Structure 1
Amino acid sequence: MADNKHMDEEMMDYEPIIVTFTDEAGNERHFAEEMRIPMNGEEYALLVGLNTEGDEDFDEEENVTIAKITKDEDGEDVYIVDFPEEEFDRVVEEYNRICDEMEAE
């Protein structure tokens, strides 16, 4: 029972990581980091789009992407969405494997 209380406290302290991308036209899109996916010494993030405009037609499932996480010169996380398709496909496979493991538990 104490474990559940500890987990509840951790979740209350959790602040989601919000990532903002700006396209060529200057439009901002905001995403919440849902989970990190470690793979082959690299780290990736599953990002879920946020409906910041109150768009009634917004579909969360259509606004999901994967970003590669690197570090800048200050050690801050940098999210990169342009990386090779083969690498993206391998990350999706790893994500699916992780989800399958979690379901099996």
Structure 2
Amino acid sequence: MSRDKRTLIKGPPPSDYYGIPYRSLIPLKVENLIVAGRCISSTHEAQAAIRIIPIVVAIGQAAGIAAALSAKLSTPPRRLNVSLLRKTLREQGAII
């Protein structure tokens, strides 16, 4: 924590991380829907890690950007170019 008592958010060390694939935000049987937060597709073991607030916020940011890009490009979320999504998230300062 910094001296002025604001919250300091740090990313994990470069070799200590896990990824959340974009496909976990896309339901298998529903088109044009992106889920975010604790309801994404994951294993029981992964739920312990993805339910904490900073991760939920990051998932929400990714879902929001994906929705915006899908609308802008008239592309269903399932067919969205994930490289473009990652590029856009990095431009916004997301840690991915």
Report the TM range for the smaller structure's normalisation: 0.3 to 0.5
Q: Which has the higher helix share?
A: 2
